[in-house]
Amino acid sequence: MSKGGRLATVLGLFLVVVGLVVWAVASLLNPGVPGGVVNFTNSQAAGQPVQLTVQTVGSIGFGAHPSWVSYLVKNPTTGKWVHDTSWELPAHTVIDMTVYQYDSGSPLRNQEWGQVQGTIGDTATLNGTSFSVFNSNTGNGVGHTFAIPTLNVSVPMVGVSGNPCAVAPCHFDSPHNIEKFSFKTPGPGSYNWQCFVPCALGYLYGNGGAMSTQNYMGGELEVVSQS
Residues 74-103 that bind another protein (CB under 8 A): none
Strands 94-101 and 177-184, by their bridges, are: antiparallel
Which positions from 114 through 153 interact with another protein, judged by CB under 8 A?
A: 114-115, 117, 132-133, 135-137, 141, 147, 149-150, 152
C-beta of 81: minimal distance to another protein in Å? 23
Cross-sheet strand order for the sheet of 189-194 = 37-39, 86-90, 218-224, 189-194, 142-148, 153-158
Q: Which part of the chain contacts another protein (CB under 8 A), choosing from 14-22, 45-53, 181-189, 208-216?
A: 208-216
In the window 160-179, what residues touch another protein (CB under 8 A)? none
Minimum separation from the CB atom of position 72 to another protein (A): 19
- Largest Cα–Cα separation, the chain: 81
Nearer to another protein, 68 or 100 (CB): 68
Smallest separation, CB 184 to another protein (Å): 17
Query: What is the C-alpha to C-alpha distance for residues 190 and 211, in angstroms, rounded to an integer?
Result: 19
E-strand stretches of the chain: 37-39, 50-57, 70-74, 81-82, 86-90, 94-101, 124-126, 129-131, 142-148, 153-158, 177-184, 189-194, 218-224
Query: Could you tell me the smallest distance in angstroms from the CB atom of residue 86 to another protein?
Result: 14
- Cβ-based neighbours of 146, under 8 Å, separated by 6 or more: 54, 97, 99, 153, 154, 155, 157, 193, 195
Check residue 31 for interaction with another protein (CB under 8 A): yes
State which of residues 26, 33, 64, 204 lies at the interface with another protein (CB under 8 A). Answer: 204
Should residue 104 be labelled a site residue for another protein when binding is judged by CB under 8 A?
A: yes
Distance CA(60)–CA(25), nearest Å, equals 26
Region 176-195 residues binding another protein, contact defined as CB under 8 A: 192, 194
Site residues (CB under 8 A) for another protein? 31, 104-112, 114-115, 117, 132-133, 135-137, 141, 147, 149-150, 152, 154, 192, 194, 196-207, 211-214, 218
